[in-house]
Amino acid sequence: MSTNNFDVKKNFQEAIDMQKKVLNGFENIMNMDVEEPGISKKKLVYGEDKFKLYQYEATTKNTLKTPVLIIYALVNRETMMDLQENNSFIKNMLNEGLDVYIIDWGYPTIDDKYIGLDDYINGYINDSVDFIRKSSKLDKINLLGVCQGGTFSAMYASIYPEKIKNLITMVTPIDFSPNDALLFAWGKHLDVDKISDAYYGLVPGDFMNNAFVTLKPMALNVNKYLDFVEDLDDPEAMSNFFRMEKWIFDSPAQVGETLKQFVNDLYRDNKLIKGEMYIGDKKADLKNLKMPILNIYGENDHIVSPESSKNFDKYVGTKDIETHEIPTGHIGMYVSSKSKKIVAPLVVSWLRERE
């Protein structure tokens, strides 16, 4: 009898505690401000069409004279690099005295439906690099590419090696033959031509998001909401959660022409490592990559296969290439404590050695 009474009291108290947590959570939500997509200040310095080039405001004296241009993927937004106060990759770079630029690809509309890889790489990226070279009065700059943006960066640097001092690739697919990660599981079998035609040349961001949510391991989707309930009375944890959710669903549309080229030439035909990849009339030959390269990938990456990234050194023309496996996932590279403790310091120290 006494044991039963104890259990009832315990359960009743747990229910009261949960109600308090929920009420505190609602109060935290009402007082929360997550409107700003990034935390570090930046200014617009150049732009064409939908894309914009930003330069981040220095937080300390620049200690490396060579600027870093960050190229993010076309899927989702570059604000992932600067999403959380405590674990912002951008903030950590700025605090180490780096001069950092980033491209915001913007939100394509139907009038952009014929923009292809040639426009992105030989056009927008090349124009951005030239702008920074002119502004800094340097012949070469540093290039840091993320995910698909890393593939773009590798192809760009192979076409214009004379403009790039150091190349950094992060969670970047290079060899598209593996089948052990999210994008690789369906990319080879995707009839992207029909999908593009069905959406009149502009594939909605929601289509891409639905594919990610559907193919992502169910446990990952469920656990994040269980963790959210546990963090209801933690304003900082809830702010981070909502920032992440906002970023996930802030997906620009994909230009059909570019998507077709990327999927067909890389996921399906793996042309980059075969030496058959052309961007416009220019060949993207990885053997032209003779500058120092830092290649970083996630051990637990469910989006870009670690096998796709780890053997980059087999295809390049430089012997000065370092490859590092980080014990985290695709997004954790930028929003986890490992971003602050491992990734940012690694990038900064590597650049310092080659300044």
Q: Give the DSSP letter of residue 65.
A: S
Residue 21: inside a domain: no
CA distance 343 to 296: 8
39 CB-near residues (< 8 Å, 6+ apart): 82, 83, 84, 85, 88, 91
Residue 1: inside a domain: no
Which of 47-51, 173-177, 205-209, 305-309 is the least confident region?
A: 205-209
Average pLDDT value for residue range 7-28:
51
107 belongs to the catalytic site: no
Count of domains forming the chain? 1
Residue 18: inside a domain: no
User: Which domain range does residue 308 map to?
Assistant: 41-353
Confidence of residue 222 (pLDDT cuts 50, 70, 90): very low
Average pLDDT value for residue range 138-157:
98
Q: What is the CATH number of the domain that holds 186?
A: 3.40.50.1820
Query: C-alpha dihedral over 151, 155, 156, 158, to 10 degrees?
Result: 140
Residue 28: inside a domain: no
Residue 270, burial from CB neighbour count under 10 angstroms (0-12, 13-18, 19+): middle
Residue matched to tokens 């030959």: 285
pLDDT of residue 52: 97
Residue 136: inside a domain: yes
Q: Which of 73, 144, 147, 294 is catalytic?
A: 147
CA distance 221 to 146: 23
Residue 156: inside a domain: yes
pTM of the model: 0.84
Residue 12: inside a domain: no
